[in-house]
Amino acid sequence: MISLEVNHLSKIYSGETKAIDDVSFKVEPGEGVMLLGHNGSGKSTLFRCITGFEKPTSGSILLNDTDITRLSRSKLRPVRKKVGMVFQNFNLTNNLSVFQNVLFGALGHTKTSFQTFAPFASDALREQAMACLDRVGLAHLARRRADQLSGGQQQRVAIARMLMQEPEIVLADEPIASLDPKAGREVMDLLWEIVSERGLAVICILHQMDVIMEYGDRVIALKDGSLILDEGAGALDRPTLESLYQKDVQLTDRRVS
Ligand SMILES: Nc1ncnc2c1ncn2[C@@H]1O[C@H](COP(=O)(O)OP(=O)(O)OP(=O)(O)O)[C@@H](O)[C@H]1O
Ligand SMILES: [Mg+2]
């Protein structure tokens, strides 16, 4: 399992928007970190830098001891497969089966993408995909088309696909934003169970205060690209978290002692 260290990271888009401004923090294996911040504060950009899809303007990102900002495309590929992603809109291939979607999680592990297509996949890979589906409680829906599931079920399939990838750290970008409260809780419970049984670090972008306080070990917050908070969740209360979304917040005055 890997640790993540972000050092003095900045990202300026096309010479003007400073999406991330000198951000530093470290996440250890097994930590559950909530990432907060208003729209446009740089959260998704930070995730895209960690997955290597965006090149930062300056700073470093260490996954264990490898600075991924300095890797060539080909060297980035094996590192990228260690980072599991969960998205708000699930990112499933809608017209394919649930089983096929989970098999695609193995893409970083096979020599060719061909080997992740159901008719050509090895028995071992197929068994693994079924085990991942079983872990999220959806083995009985393996043959169903992905777009014929409820939102909560689709997100569980996305988690099964992420498991198939065998990640060593997980980034979740608003994983329950498209779900009703009940389905959202079920997805959070499942995600948290899975990361804790595997000892994975997870960083989760969320806006729901009660969910943040219930599940997070630690909270970090961005405002206009800058890190304005990095605290254990136990040291925070709801008004403090809500104040992160106000203008001109003076966090140092609002911390619980
Ligand atoms: N590809 C891009 N090119 C130029 N500017 C971008 C690009 N992506 C994001 N930005 C800008 O960078 C800033 C941070 O955007 P980002 O998407 O990281 O915010 P966010 O915190 O994820 O917001 P949200 O909560 O709405 O998802 C915003 O000002 C946005 O307009
Ligand atoms: Mg975003």
The closest alpha carbon to 244, from 203, 216, 209, 215, belongs to 209
Ligand 1 pocket residues where CB is under 6 Å: 13-14, 17, 19, 37, 39-45
Cα(37) to centroid of ligand 2, in Å? 9
Regarding whether 208 and 162 lie in a shared domain, the answer is: no
Q: At 224, which CATH number?
A: 3.40.50.300
Regarding whether 55 and 174 lie in a shared domain, the answer is: yes
The closest alpha carbon to 218, from 15, 20, 25, 40, belongs to 25
Regarding whether 240 and 193 lie in a shared domain, the answer is: yes
Cα(115) to centroid of ligand 1, in Å? 35
Cα(176) to centroid of ligand 1, in Å? 19
Last residue within a domain, chosen from 112, 135, 166? 166
Residues contacting residue 134 through CB under 8 Å, at least 6 positions apart: none
Range of the domain at 8: 1-82+169-257
Tell me what pLDDT residue 246 has: 77
Nearest ligand 1 atom to the CA of 222 is 21
pLDDT digits (tens, 9 = 90+) for 120-161: 788 999 999 999 999 999 999 999 999 999 999 999 999 999
Would residue 36 count as lying in a domain?
A: yes
Regarding whether 14 and 64 lie in a shared domain, the answer is: yes
Tell me what pLDDT residue 248 has: 63
Would residue 87 count as lying in a domain?
A: no
Total domain count, the chain? 2
Regarding whether 181 and 57 lie in a shared domain, the answer is: yes
Regarding whether 256 and 174 lie in a shared domain, the answer is: yes
Regarding whether 176 and 78 lie in a shared domain, the answer is: yes
Last residue within a domain, chosen from 145, 166, 187? 166
Q: What would the mean pLDDT of 159-187 be, rounded to a whole number? A: 95
